[in-house]
Amino acid sequence: MSEPNTKNINSHIQLPKCSLIPFVNSKKYIYYYDFETNEVKRSTPKNFNVEYGYYYPKIEEYLNKIETAF
């Protein structure tokens, strides 16, 4: 197995950023419901549901190519 991702990359875990962009408001925010805190929260597509170093570097590189193509 490859080494863990040590680059400064926030990986989108479930939804690629390009799938969130149609849902932004005029101020470039999306709103979502957090079931753990029972709150409606605000985020940007770039920062929604990301985790630092979630994927290995080669996987992240591959996913970035696909996501950019959308």
Q: Is residue 3 part of a domain?
A: no
Q: Is residue 41 part of a domain?
A: yes
Q: Is residue 44 part of a domain?
A: yes
Q: Is residue 5 part of a domain?
A: no
User: Pairing state of beta strands 10-12 and 30-34?
Assistant: unpaired
Sign, CA torsion 37/39/42/45: positive
Q: What is the pTM of this model?
A: 0.62
pLDDT tens, N- to C-terminus, the chain (70 residues)? 445 444 556 666 777 788 888 999 999 999 999 898 999 999 999 888 888 877 778 888 887 787 665 5
Domain range holding 57?
10-69
Q: In this predicted structure, what is the pLDDT of residue 68?
A: 62
Q: Is residue 1 part of a domain?
A: no
Q: Is residue 56 part of a domain?
A: yes
Report how many domains make up the chain: 1
